[in-house]
Amino acid sequence: MLLPGLAVDTRGMRLGRGGGSYDRVLARLDRAGAHPALVVLLYDTEVVERVPEEPHDRPVHAVVTPSGVRRFR
């Protein structure tokens, strides 16, 4: 599942726009027993050391940048 993001940190935590739309979709998928791979497309400079996180946030599985793919976990 491609997710939008403003940044991803070295742990795979994603910074979104703060509306919570994708968090709600991911929670519904969890309840349905679906566990898709979560991937964000970003520029290299948008992979940062740390982004803020909240208790409901989930890490993504990978980020794809012009330099390549970085997998988390």
What confidence tier does 73 reach under pLDDT thresholds 50, 70, 90? confident
pLDDT at 21 over 90: no
2-71 maps to CATH 3.40.50.300: no
The pLDDT mean for the chain works out to 94
Phi/psi at 22 (5° precision): -70, -30
- Direct distance between the N- and C-terminal alpha carbons of the chain, in angstroms, rounded to an integer: 17
What confidence tier does 23 reach under pLDDT thresholds 50, 70, 90? confident
Please count the other Cβ atoms lying within 10 Å of the Cβ belonging to residue 20.
12
CB 24 within 8 A of CB 49: no
pLDDT tens, position by position, 47-71: 999 999 988 888 999 999 999 999 9
Please count the other Cβ atoms lying within 10 Å of the Cβ belonging to residue 22.
17
Domain chopping of the chain, boundaries: 2-71
